[in-house]
Amino acid sequence: MTHENDIPEYALQPARAPVVTPAEAIYHTEKIVYPAEEQTVTYQFEEDILVPDIKPDMRDILLMEAVCDIAPSEKKVAPKTDDLLNFTGSLTVQTIYAAEDSQEPVAITSKVPYKYQWSLNPQDQAEGVFNCKIRNLEFMIVNERKFRIKVTMEFSARLLCSREFQFFDGLKNEGLELRKQETCLTCLELVKKDETVIDETFRGKDTALIPESILKQNFTITENYRQVTTEKVVINGFVFCDILYRAENPDEPDGTSICQMNHRVEFTQFIPIEKEHRGKTWNSVRTGFSSQDLAVVIGSDEENPDDIHFRVRGTVQSRIELYGSRQREMAVDAYHREKEFVCDFAKRQVTNFVGDAMAETSVREIINLPEGTKASEAIYASAQVLDYECHCEKGRVMVSGVLSCSALWKDQNGIFFAEKAAPDFRGTVELESAMSSQKAFCRPLIKSAWVEFINEKQIEVNVAILLCVQTCKEEQVVMLESPRFVETVREKEYPMVIVTMKPGECLWDLAKRYRTTEGHLRIANNLDGEPESGRRLLIVK
């Protein structure tokens, strides 16, 4: 050995870098439309609202509720961009207030426009389904002709992302040992939309009360049951109408009464499936409903003008998403028996639907009235879901949350008052396929709310809540990418070796390490299944 400046001769030789040769892969590509994580954002703003000139001066606000719409409700969203999506819409604010010169409550409905910009930036090209709701509504009286509202809106975006999955099938002109794994992928296969016209008349519970005017109205649209076949989808649903109205009542001193009415309108939709999609099996169905023009009016028959009744009219838009389950064998590992084969392992997050179900829960909240007041009648109650959460347990989904309840009542002097409460609610939805490791999504809907008179110091608010839940599990799919061969100096190999199985090791690991096959290992060692840890195995090249 010679030295130069105390440096060994072998250290002066340049290291030989391994030679990397790209391998020509064989893929099959499949487009998957999958549900991504739902994104939400809140937006706050204030607005002054004027009392219309035809209405009396305002003394106190008794009740206020708001609903909002959004446009567009569906839109394509590009990935990896800072472009902002522009949303517009309006708030419909229903206000019940006590007037300066009248004991009866006064109702006004106001439209408040809004604009909002939102950057979503999904990972893949997506179809966004957008919704908005009121999270919080505060108000204050500025003067007798003006009041100010402070609104917190929540925008939600349900992204249906489109991605091309490249499934590795092997190499061109090269043989590989492939380890495959059965994988399930939930894919949105079909979206169907339909519109149903609602037109139904109904009467109040007390036929002696003749409706005069509607003060306030709310609507909830929900599914009752569905039937899905290979050729059609049948949706049966309900429109729940909640009405506060003034009626003529000869038994009252002033000749009128303020009443609440809850009514249910049933509808059924028959939605055909196109021929190219018939014969498929759907493992999950998601329904959604909306309406922009539902309204209740007071009318009478032309032939019998004295027959005064309510009439609800409008259209219900339905969106039905049909999901299929695609079972695929995917290569999750590979090796070459003669060459040094390497590749990259890319992990993709996928969401697979498991099941859905509905159940109903109820809330009863007793409200103690302020000191010094005595109630004579309970008039009206409304409720809104403020917040909620849900989680899976074995065989069921647990839902809990908080409501915002408002109640209108009248004292013994005929003066109207309003009380608020924030009761908790809990419910259980039985779902056989639910497991604690799964995620749960819930849509709690207010089915109906009403108030009952207990005594002069107490009233009771009752709320029926419909819980619509869906469960899913998130899994990682391993994709083989960038296959290549690497030429390295190979260690001396022996034609026959004996090895001991290590904890967590399997036959595939041994076959890959010694460049043989699982079949050869089973034959050489007379194996039927996976050997236990610590067992000595013979490996013959």
Distance CA 47, CA 31 (A): 46
Same domain for 470 and 519?
no
Taking a C-beta distance cutoff of 8 angstroms, is the pair 452, 460 a contact?
yes
Residues 326 and 233 in one domain: yes
**Domain membership flag for residue 22:** no
Question: Which CATH number does the domain housing residue 538 bear?
Answer: 3.10.350.10
Are residues 243 and 127 both part of a single domain? no
186, 316: one domain = yes
User: Could you tell me the two tokens for 78?
Assistant: 């590009």
Q: List pLDDT tens digits, range 495-518.
A: 788 888 889 889 999 899 888 899
Q: Could you tell me which of 480, 512, 488 has the C-alpha nearest to residue 25?
A: 480
Whether residue 117 is predicted with pLDDT greater than 90 in this model: the reply is: yes
Two tokens, residue 20: 């990397």
Same domain membership, residue 389 and residue 460: yes
Q: For 221-265, how does the pLDDT look when each residue is reduced to its tens digit (9 = 90+)?
A: 999 988 988 888 999 999 999 999 999 888 777 788 899 999 999
pLDDT of residue 78: 86
Does residue 26 fall inside a structural domain? Answer: no
Residue ranges making up the domain that contains 535: 492-541
Over range 314-343, report the average pLDDT: 90
Residue 82: pLDDT over 80: no
Of residues 354 and 462, which shows the higher confidence score? 462
Q: Are residues 140 and 214 in the same domain?
A: no
Q: Is position 165 within any domain?
A: no
pLDDT averaged over every residue in the chain:
89
Query: So what's the pLDDT on residue 490?
Result: 64
One domain for residues 455 and 485: yes
Q: Is 9 among the domain residues? A: no
Look at 381 and 186; give whichever has higher pLDDT: 381
Residues 409 and 287 grouped into a single domain:
no
> Residue 417 pLDDT more than 70?
yes
In a domain, 341, yes or no: no
Same structural domain, 181 and 52: no
Whether 42 shows a pLDDT value over 90: the answer reads: yes
Q: Tell me how far CA of residue 257 lies from CA of 60, 378, 450, in angstroms.
A: 20, 12, 16
The domain boundary, picked from 301, 335, 369, lies at 335
pLDDT of 419 reads: 94
Identify whether residues 84 and 190 lie together within a single domain.
no
User: Are 369 and 481 members of one domain?
Assistant: yes
Of 111-120, 139-148, 158-167, 314-323, give the lowest mean pLDDT range.
158-167
Q: Would you state the pLDDT for residue 19?
A: 83
- Listing from the earlier edge strand, what are the strands of the sheet with 210-228? 210-228, 232-248, 256-272
Domain annotation covers residue 28: no
- Residue 104 and residue 201 in one domain: no
Q: Are 313 and 299 in contact (CB under 8 A)?
A: no
Please identify, among 158, 191, 206, the residue that sits at the C-terminal boundary of a domain.
Answer: 158
Domain count, the chain: 4
| Domain end position, chosen among 98, 129, 158 | 158
Would you give the end-to-end CA distance of the chain in angstroms? 39
350 lies in some domain: no
20 lies in a domain? Answer: no
